[in-house]
Structure 1
Amino acid sequence: MIPYVRDITFDYGACDQVSPLIRRVVANNPGPFTFLGTGTYIVGQGEVAVIDPGPDLPEHLDAILAALGPGETVTHILVTHHHSDHSPLARPLQAKTGAPIYGCAVGVQAEESTIKTEAGADLGFAPDISLCGGGAVLKGPNWTLEAIATPGHTSNHICFALHEENALFSGDHIMGWSTTVITPPDGDMTDYMESLDLVKARGFTTLWPTHGPPVTEVTPFVEAYIAHRRAREAQVLAAVAEGHGRIKDMVPVLYAAVDKRLWPAASRSVLGHMIDLVRRGLVTTDGEAGLDSDYRLAG
């Protein structure tokens, strides 16, 4: 079982000092994919970085600007990925502050679908400075942020490590309140599992997801995240072995305890597992792996 952390105290639009170097302002955009809203983080004092400005809400922009102290300036705007609850406010914030936008441009375009699997996509997102591939180190007074490429939830997902606090701004890669949706073709289960292993190996003390409270027992939490995915994979394989090779027949059983509003998104996550299993030679299907394919065990 994943030891979810969901307790968080805040007021929309208020600025909370949540660690010596981190402030948080939560946008009023709660929903099934955003939990209680987008948490925008302000890192440092004096010259600061803003991580995940959030949805294009004028009141949230005002709240971020109001959170700045006298004489403070935004020198970096960082975006973990291009979903509409993370990136759209980057350009309006830049218009107010002049700060460059850092991130990774949209790579794989999501296929047209009537299935709502996220809060929406900002498909025009294009940073001023590309961090694709990770490794870049950004600095300000008394703070250092390292870009870590974590594809999986999206092809362009970037996490940011704050060296001074051994903390990771994990975007939607790892969230305390829920598992992460993997939606092919932009989401990729193979990449996602490798990215989870990468984060685990770094030994962070704290994870700061964009939605919800921090994760402070990081290693066991990430291990539980990985175990959950492997358990789901085993369930999918068992369903296929029993002759239930269609994704639409698996989801109501595998996700019986999950909000039904998320079942369409869950079907995409099962597809992510199927694509990964086909790549690994454990499952086979005729033609390309898709939502309506009929799957069977290989061999």
Structure 2
Amino acid sequence: MDDDFDPRAGVAEAIAPGLRRVLAPNPSPMTWRGTNTYLLGRGQVTVIDPGPDDPAHLAALLLALEGEAVSHVVVTHSHLDHSPLAARLARQTGAEVWAYGNALAGRSDVMRALVAGGYDGGGEGVDLAFAPDRLVADGDVIATPAGDLRVLHTPGHMGNHICLRWGDAVFSGDLVMGWATSLVSPPDGDISDFLASCAKVRAEGAAVLYPGHGAPVTDPAARIDWLIAHRMERRAQVLAALDVPRDVEALTAAIYTDVAPALWPIAARNVFAQLVELVGAGLVGAAPDLSPGAKFHKM
């Protein structure tokens, strides 16, 4: 975590040639200092991740954009801290909203099967009202006045999550953040997808990542390697803690001894995501069904 990252909310800050960042006023244990909204270009501007539906943040963006036009509004994923302001900003500026799809788009087969089997959990912080004007797919190019944005479909944190390649940089949304690991909460998140998406972004060989939260990541390969290693370590801890059958709550308490108990409900979502993957791999069983309240055991 970069504790030195503490920009002032609502102030447009130039962070690279042709790129400004405006921090939303939504700090929390899940968002750290707040959501990074990016303004790409000058004169004709592309807005990436407008942020929460907050009048103060909208006013800050419109002030930063005074005298300029908005050509595109692009959303990396539809969580409530990233996408809700898109509709209002689009109405104010006349721009269209570009994204992979609505809140249910891009879910893995495993997660669709989990929901079909009756699982009704998850859904934390999801913007169910999100409805983009333009849909993009992996490999598509969004031609903006400030240069092309190549779309990388990167599910894992959320099924409709995308990253955007711009020159030698990648806008990494919440897949790779500048302060912590990402929440992976089924059925919106999928550990297998998350690891594959991390590897996909690493293979881009970008010089810098501009994340949804936190400071720019200036050593992408090292950061992504750490994220993958961290998830694999947690996976090993889950398996080790299943020396006796346990439910998600008990596993979380046994594994997350380095995390404040107040954050255990969040950590439990990541534990359940690990268990879904382990059950699918045939390494763990669940009784009576695959749910957080089940008793999990090694196979």
Alpha-carbon distance between aligned partners in 2 of 1:142 and 1:295, rounded to the nearest angstrom: 51
The TM-score with structure 1 as length reference comes to 0.91
In 2, Cα distance between the equivalents of 1:6 and 1:130? Answer: 36
Work out whether 1:89 is the aligned partner of 2:85.
yes
- State the match for 2:32 in structure 1: 35
Is residue 2:287 matched to residue 1:286?
Answer: yes
Corresponding residue for residue 132 of structure 2: 127
The aligned residue for residue 151 of structure 1 is: 155
Deviation at 1:96, TM superposition (A): 0.8
Letter in 2 for 1:59: A
Tell me the secondary structure at the aligned position of residue 295 of structure 1.
Answer: strand
Whole-Å separation in 1 of the counterparts to 2:249 and 2:146:
51
Query: In the aligned structure 1, how far is the partner of 2:258 from the partner of 2:287?
Result: 31
> 4+ runs of 1 displaced by more than 6 Å?
none
The TM-score, its normalising length taken from structure 2, stands at 0.91
| Counterpart secondary structure, 1:265 | helix
- Alignment check: 8 A CA contact 2:170 2:206 kept: yes
* Equivalent residue runs for 1:49-64 within 5 Å: 49-64=46-61
- Measured after TM superposition, the shift of residue 69 of structure 1 is 5.2
What does the per-residue CA deviation read over 1:69-116, in whole Å, with 9 as the maximum and x for residues that have no partner? 53x211100111111110110011011101000112121698655x8x
1:1-299 equivalences in 2 (<5 Å):
4-68=1-65, 70=67, 72-103=68-99, 104-107=101-104, 118=124, 120-131=125-136, 133-163=137-167, 166-240=168-242, 242-298=243-299
Output the amino acid matched with 2:197: S
Q: Which amino acid aligns with 1:286?
A: A
Separation of aligned partners in 1, 2:16 and 2:214: 15
Structure 2 residues not aligned, in runs of 5+:
none
Percentage of matched positions with identical amino acids: 41
Distance 1:283-1:81 versus aligned 2 partners, 3 A rule? same
How far off is 1:245 after superposition? 2.6
Please give the secondary structure, in 1, of the residue aligned with 2:194: helix
Secondary structure, aligned partner of 2:201: helix
Distance 1:175 1:123, change over 3 A: same
Q: Is the 1:5–1:215 contact (alpha carbons within 8 Å) kept by the matching residues of 2?
A: no
Cα distance in 1 for partners of 2:240, 2:217 equals 32
1:290, CA displacement in angstroms? 1.2
- Gap runs ≥5 in structure 1: none
Structure 2 Cα separation of the partners of residues 59 and 230 of structure 1: 40
Paired AA for residue 56 in structure 1: D
Paired with 1:187 and 1:30, the residues of 2 have a C-alpha distance of 22
Offset at residue 244 of structure 1 (A): 4.3
Report the AA paired with residue 44 of structure 1: G
Letter in 1 for 2:145: P
For 1:287 and 1:93, locate their aligned partners in 2 and report how far apart those are by CA, in whole Å.
47
Q: Residues 6 and 212 of structure 1 are in contact (CA less than 8 Å); yes or no, is this contact kept in structure 2?
A: no
